[in-house]
Amino acid sequence: MATPRAGSIEAATRTLLPQGFHALSFGNPSAPPLLWLHGFPDHPPTAVDVLERLGRTHRVVAPWLRGYAPSPLAGELDLQSLANDVLAMIEAIGGPVDLVGHDWGAAIVYAVCALRPDRVRRAATLALPHPLSFLHSLRSPAQLRRSWYMGLFQLPNAERFVRANDLALIDRLWRAWSPGYALPDERRRELHACLAASLPAPLGYYRAMVRPLRDLRTRTRRLAAPIATPLLQLHGADDGCVLPPHGASAAFDARRFTARTLEIIPNTGHFLHLEQPDTVGARLAGWLT
């Protein structure tokens, strides 16, 4: 079991963005802006270690995304709407920005870069290929096995399963997605409190993917043009949630970009920035500066 570091949440300041979005901020307010977007099932405080490191060169703003308390829980949770939320944040903090996202945050990064490349200077994503490449990967039995929870979240009573036994399902996903890593107890309690106050909204991300199914082609067409933003894509070699791009899948994903760099981090799972904050933080800082 990896021994996690314990960065200081006191290093952050609390920021209130337009429309009631709450965020953690790190670094010099006059430094170049960087917007960090978390994934599921997660929130900004777990990433303090890597955010502190990025704060040495940037003004880092890490919001709780829509559907995660204390940010707004109500509202549309489709990818276009989430991207619009982030575009409003970029305007508020002064864009263009460097944009980094993990998991669902990575999906939003891709959408923002596709919709408004003028608002992003450089970008980086963690643990997720391009959304169209991920949808294509669901044809693979290996990826389908990893994505079983997406089907569960479509059920009307999914929230009851997620809340059961003090969010035991959430802990199970973390263990499966990053084998050999465990959140420090205090951070795990903070995350549980956030999710308990937020549910069922975080499940809405997955429901919005397929509802209504007849509109899926129209929704994904907006992402079809290759992304021109310089983009670093990092993926853990031992990711238990999303298969790392390799071989034909990496080549298929490369078609979605004109300036992408892909790196697979060995001995690391889905939460690679928590497992190896120094390695991932240094690679991100080098790419963005």
pLDDT value at residue 18: 87
Strands 120-126 and 97-102, by their bridges, are: parallel
State both tokens at 161: 């399963």
The Cα–Cα gap between 40 and 54 comes to 21
pLDDT value at residue 4: 42
Distance (Å) of CA 154 to CA 89, 132, 200, 242: 29, 20, 11, 19
Q: What is the mean pLDDT of residues 87-107?
A: 96
pLDDT value at residue 251: 87
Using alpha carbons only, what angle is made at residue 76 by residues 75 and 81, rounded to the nearest 5 degrees?
Answer: 120
**DSSP for residue 24:** E
pLDDT value at residue 210: 80
Task: Rounding to the nearest 10 degrees, give the CA dihedral for residues 172, 174, 177, 181.
Answer: -120
Say if residue 8's pLDDT is above 80.
no
Task: Give 242's pLDDT tier (boundaries 50, 70, 90).
Answer: very high
Domains for the chain: give ranges and CATH numbers. 9-288 (3.40.50.1820)
Do residues 17 and 89 make contact, with C-beta atoms less than 8 angstroms apart?
yes
Q: What is the mean pLDDT of residues 210-229?
A: 71
Say if residue 216's pLDDT is above 60.
no
pLDDT value at residue 169: 98
Distance (Å) of CA 150 to CA 24, 91, 125, 209, 283: 29, 32, 21, 10, 31
- What confidence tens digit (pLDDT) does each residue in 23-54 have? 999 998 999 999 999 999 999 999 999 999 99
State both tokens at 67: 């559907």
pLDDT value at residue 247: 82
DSSP 57-88: TSEEEEEPPTTSTTS---S--SHHHHHHHHHH
The Cα–Cα gap between 42 and 72 comes to 16
pLDDT value at residue 223: 77
pLDDT value at residue 9: 60
Strands 120-126 and 231-236, by their bridges, are: parallel
Percent of the chain with pLDDT over 90: 81
